[in-house]
Structure 1
Amino acid sequence: MDQDLSKSLITGLCENDTKSQELLYRQFYSYGMSVCLRYTSSREEAVEVLHDSFMKVFTKIHQYDPNQVFKRWFRRILINTAINHFKRQHKHYKTEKLDSAFHVKGNEEDAVAQLNYQEMIQVIQQLSPVYRTVFNLFVIEGYGHEEIAEKLGISEGASKSNLSRARAKLRELLTRNHEKGLAKYER
């Protein structure tokens, strides 16, 4: 049995009990929001994805296996909802082909490691939706390019290209932010 959900809470959710739904919402709001913020460009958009995710949880709770960790099941719903939101919002967004991509070498993970969580979210949110989604799925969630391509309906090459460009853009944004920070202290 998952320790983060009691048997009575699961029963209440299965019976569409509003108090159980509210309890679950309060218990997992912060966690869900932290995941959604990485996939969206604004707090408002993240809240929309989060609310859609909770609605899916409430309607599909009977599919949840209480012997599994609820957080993992919920995370999968959050990510899939964010991807579906991305697809709806950016149906006509063109992804670029691998042969036109430039490859950037470097270690952006070091720069990202120096940021606090809030700064990292703000920088990631500045990426275009397709770059942000591919970056999150590959770097943070650990998906492979084949899985990303399947989830987003793009080619594997486009996934690789978008990841490369996302990293280059992050490096540019981090450098710009770092230079602004230094300039502030040099005055």
Structure 2
Amino acid sequence: MIFFRQKEKGFKLKKVLNGCKWGDLNSQEQLYREYYAYVRSIALRYASSDDFASEITNDTFLKVFKHISTYNENSDFKAWIRRITINTSLDYNKKEKKYQENDTIDETIDLPTSHGIEETLNAETIILLLQQLPPLYRMTFNLHEIEGFSHEEIARMMNIKTSTSRANLTRAKKELRVLIQNLNHHEK
């Protein structure tokens, strides 16, 4: 018995992308099936709920299909769709007006990490913990720690100051530690 989804046999990205450019529904469905889990995993990190992640995922694919002709075939498709997913996530948070005002901090404090439960957390638990963070913290954490953007890039993307990005990251890490500690106390 197989418990994981196998890659579709014979999936040819170039052929599928060509079909998508012509509006072929079968090609769009193939692309959706092939990249759904990848896009959804990104959306879950940025969303505050499962429903919100579904909206981001679906809108990402709508944008992909609408703008597929702008994709440069010489570049990495996965990176292209990742960027669209991130931008869609940022747009959703702006549209929903979930940004919270934050004071800026010029210096960040590196908080010590405690070892233990963090090493045994599974992906689902981590996603649930990230979803509990305030939107600005969650976005900054994802963009910096997971996607690898610099604070300067994050500041431009989110239209905030660089110092605010640093402060949001510090606060996100602090809140995550508290959430993990609370989780640890509940499991004991």
**Same-fold call, TM > 0.5?**
yes
Matched, 1:88 2:95: yes
Name the stretch that deviates more: 126-135 or 21-30. Answer: 21-30
TM-aligned CA distance change 1:91 to 1:64, over 3 Å: same
1:76 paired residue among 83, 93, 97: 83
| CA deviation map 1:145-173 (0-9, x unaligned) | 00000000000011011111000000000
Where does structure 1 lack aligned partners over 5 or more consecutive residues?
183-187
- How far the C-alpha of 1:108 sits from its partner, in A, is 6.4
Amino acid corresponding to residue 136 of structure 2 in structure 1: V
8 Å Cα contact 1:108/1:170 also seen in 2? no
* Correspondent of 2:161 among 111, 132, 155: 155
Q: Tell me what 2:6 maps to.
A: none
Cα deviation for residue 88 of structure 1 reads: 1.4
Whole-Å separation in 2 of the counterparts to 1:61 and 1:151: 22
Q: Aligned equivalents of 1:11 and 1:146: distance in 2?
A: 36
Partner residue, 2:47? 40
Q: Distance in 1 between matches of 2:102 and 2:12?
A: 40
1:146-185 → structure 2 map (5 Å cutoff): 146-182=152-188
Match of 1:130 in 2: 136
TM-score in terms of structure 1 length: 0.88
Q: Structure 2: how far apart are the matches of 1:137 and 1:109?
A: 24
Structure 2 distance, partners of 1:180, 1:122, is 15
| 1:5–1:70 Cα contact (<8 Å) kept | no
Using structure 2 for the length normalisation, give the TM-score.
Answer: 0.88
RMSD: 2.1
Distance in 2 between residues matched to 1:92 and 1:47, nearest whole Å: 20
User: Any gaps of 5 or more consecutive residues in structure 2?
Assistant: 1-9
**1:105 aligns to what SS in structure 2?**
coil
Q: 1:145 — aligned with what?
A: 151
- Distance, in Å, in 1 between the alignment partners of 2:141 and 2:14 is 37
CA distance in 2, matches of 1:147, 1:6: 30
Larger % of helix: which? 1
